Chains A and B, each alone.
Chain A
Amino acid sequence: MGRSADRLSLVLLFTPFALWIGLLIVLPQLGIGYVSLREKVGVNEFTFGFGNYAAFFEEPIYRNTLLRTAWISILVTALALIMGFPVAYYIAKIAKERSRAGLFLMCLIPLWVSDLVRAYGWILLLRETGVISTTLVSLGIISGPVEMLYNDVTVIIGLVYTVILFMIVPLVSTLQGMDDALLEAGYNLGGSRLTVFRRIIVPYAMPGIVAGCIITFMLTAGSYLTPILLGGKNSSWFTEQIYTQFITRYNWEMGSTFGVLLLIFTSLVVWLGLRLTGQSLATTVAKE
């Protein structure tokens, strides 16, 4: 094959990639960056500056919504890790060879069901006329129906539910690669169960933990349906603010500012996470 043909085929392969990344990812992101720096002073008249960002930091409602979203997202990530790790460990290490694939597949089922259906299911379980409340009343455990929707605990339970599988999947695939001999060696050298867990299992699973945490955190911070449907009108979720600014108020300048802030914030957390654990994006999120 000639060099020119080689070059031509490289160009042909490169073009779709360049068009995709350039037109649909880079340019649109630059677009919201540009609009976020624009301030409307009259009809079709704009000035440029950091006014929108200043407005964000001056308005406690906006600021607090971002902080709240951040704090809940971190909490949800931690909970998903704590709740998901034993399940992943069971599937990868304790379950018998035969049942392993079945268990893993069962874990994946809810993943294939739309977020909307899952949130709807939670609503049917938790609302005042819902299954849990009605059952508790008819069993005589509580005297009247209780509303379990529209509070932070419910939002957190629902969020953990939506994202936990994204934690379990990478954990299972890293833990499956661990040789049981490592554990045996740890015990033979006199390590207690806790020591083996802390010094062998956790370091081994670190790439999976980091990958799971990144995906979980990004999904939570960017989620929309679960906080809105389970948290109700007062869920104060940051993506809801973006929607309100963009679609309801048609204030694209402010909406873009919020978008950029969310993006900066989530990237910062992901970067910090990668930095602290010494991993890289290519080896965690894109793995397999």
Chain B
Amino acid sequence: MQGSKSLVWVFRAYVLIFFIYLIAPLVAAGVFAFNDSMFPSLPWQGFTWDWFFSASDPKVGLLHDDRLLRGMGNSLYIGVIVAALSVAAGTCNAFLFERRQFPMKSLLYILMIIPLVIPGVIIGISILLLASMVANFLDREFGIFLLSLRPGIPLIVLGQFSFLTTITSLVIAARLQKFDIALEEAALNLGASRVRVLTTVTLPFLFPALFSAFVVAFLVSFENFNTTLMLVGSDAPLTITMYDRMVKVGSTPVLNAMSVVLMLGSGLLALASVLAQRPKKAEGNAAAAAMD
């Protein structure tokens, strides 16, 4: 490096300050989960696990807070379904765009990326609107009443699926691109059937990407707020429940306890996905792009 020593020190100091900026709110959200006080604020009243485990009023811990637990259950349920669906669709898309030639391919490729640049709120309202129009039409013309087209978990799943599929497609396609087609040809020449080649050669190669795509989709779904807000019915997922609590009821340290659980959970999952993709690093880029 040509730069002088002092410049490097300026850089280091800056990066250090930057990391403090990054970590400060996370620390604040985490630490007060262990403060023995009714409010998540200073002064420090001593260490406690009450906000996780206490069952009695006034300190109802996380494990006994039914609304938060129900929200978490809904989020897990939605997350797993959405992640599975978007990985399945993403795998098809990856094969379609990496392996096949068809008319208007580049235009359709752009169409595939577009969901990433549509604001989440707009994805939410557009799906809400279309579903309602279809539901009203079915009701009016055929007298069919479809509850699943009204705000609720099915619509949340559709809304999140619509933009997560772009992410999973990009992650899986990036891995498929690195696949040496000669391996498949060799297996075919040795007499394996198409299906056999797919299940014993190609899919095992893709597995790390499938796993990461699943984890990323699950996490983004679990943490999604903007799209979900527009589509939520009576079964609110966790982010909506926490938001309501923050805005309407006022916060107690039980929200901090929840934050700690969320940070640990997403941290571990993210680590697992990074480890699964060991030699590569760039998927985070595409993955990152939709966490609004």
Contacts and interface: CB of A to CB of B under 8 A. Distances in A.
B106 A13 contact: no
Contact of A109 (B127, B267, B289): B267
Number of chain A interface residues as a range: 35 or more
Interface string B1-39: 111000010011011001101111111110010000001
B55 interface: no
A224 B113 contact: no
B121 A120 contact: no
A66 to B, nearest CB: 13
B41 A35 contact: no
Contacts of B223: 113-116
Contacts of A144: none
Interface of A: 1, 10, 13-14, 16-17, 20-21, 24-29, 31-32, 35, 83, 86-87, 89-91, 93-94, 101, 103-125, 127, 129-131, 134-135, 161, 165-166, 169-170, 173, 180, 183-184, 187, 193, 211, 214-215, 218-219, 221-225, 228-229, 239, 242-243, 246-247, 252, 255-256, 259, 262-263, 266-267, 270, 281-282, 285-288
A14 B24 CA distance: 47
A108 B273 CA distance: 13
B98 to A, nearest CB: 11
Contacts of A173: 281-282, 285
A268 to B, nearest CB: 12
User: Which has the most chain A C-beta neighbours within 10 Å: B256, B274, B284?
Assistant: B284
Interface of B: 1-3, 8, 11-12, 14-15, 18-19, 21-29, 32, 39-43, 88-89, 92-93, 95-96, 100, 102, 106, 108-123, 125-130, 133, 158, 161-162, 165, 170, 174, 194, 219, 222-223, 225-226, 229-230, 239, 242-243, 246-247, 251, 255-256, 259, 262-263, 266-267, 269-270, 274, 281-286, 288-289, 291-292
16 contacts: A16-B92, A24-B162, A27-B130, A31-B126, A108-B288, A114-B239, A115-B292, A118-B26, A124-B256, A127-B41, A129-B39, A218-B119, A224-B120, A224-B226, A246-B128, A288-B285
